[in-house]
Amino acid sequence: DTGVSQDPRHKITKRGQNVTFRCDPISEHNRLYWYRQTLGQGPEFLTYFQNEAQLEKSRLLSDRFSAERPKGSFSTLEIQRTEQGDSAMYLCASSLGGLPEQYFGPGTRLTVT
């Protein structure tokens, strides 16, 4: 069990650029969640998948954000036309459907300059 991994760990980009993050969940976990965390705050839910189906999207997820989990394994989160307000830690978590505990990756820290 290698845990949840995320790539990259850090990303610095200029405003207006597109960025894509990847999350690899624990292999047998069928649920995958994306959260965003800003300094001094708790994580806030963005979206989640059960297998390849995207089940819910938060109102925080503007139309510049898109997430996929094409084969029910890894997931990508893309942010188009980044803004300074997108600067945050993006956290991925996975769980085994039906169980409440979620297992988090180390996060991707995005800085938009």
Partner 1 sequence: SQQGEEDPQALSIQEGENATMNCSYKTSINNLQWYRQNSGRGLVHLILIRSNEREKHSGRLRVTLDTSKKSSSLLITASRAADTASYFCATGGNTPLVFGKGTRLSVIA
Tokens encoding 80: 């188009």
- In this complex, which beta carbon is closest to partner 1, that of residue 14 or of residue 99? 99
**DSSP SS3 for 92:** strand
Options 11-19, 62-70, 71-79, 105-113: segment touching partner 1 (CB under 8 A): 105-113
Distance CA 94, CA 38 (A): 20
Tokens encoding 76: 């990508």
- In this complex, which beta carbon is closest to partner 1, that of residue 10 or of residue 81? 10
Q: How far is CA 37 from CA 1, 7, 109, in A?
A: 26, 16, 9
Please report how close the Cβ of residue 16 comes to partner 1 at its closest, in angstroms: 26
Say how many residues make up the chain. Answer: 113
Interface mask toward partner 1 for 27-46; x: CB under 8 A: ------x-x----xxxxxx-
Show contacts with partner 1 in window 53-92 (CB under 8 A): 56, 58, 89, 91
Does 26 help bind partner 1 (rule: CB under 8 A)?
no
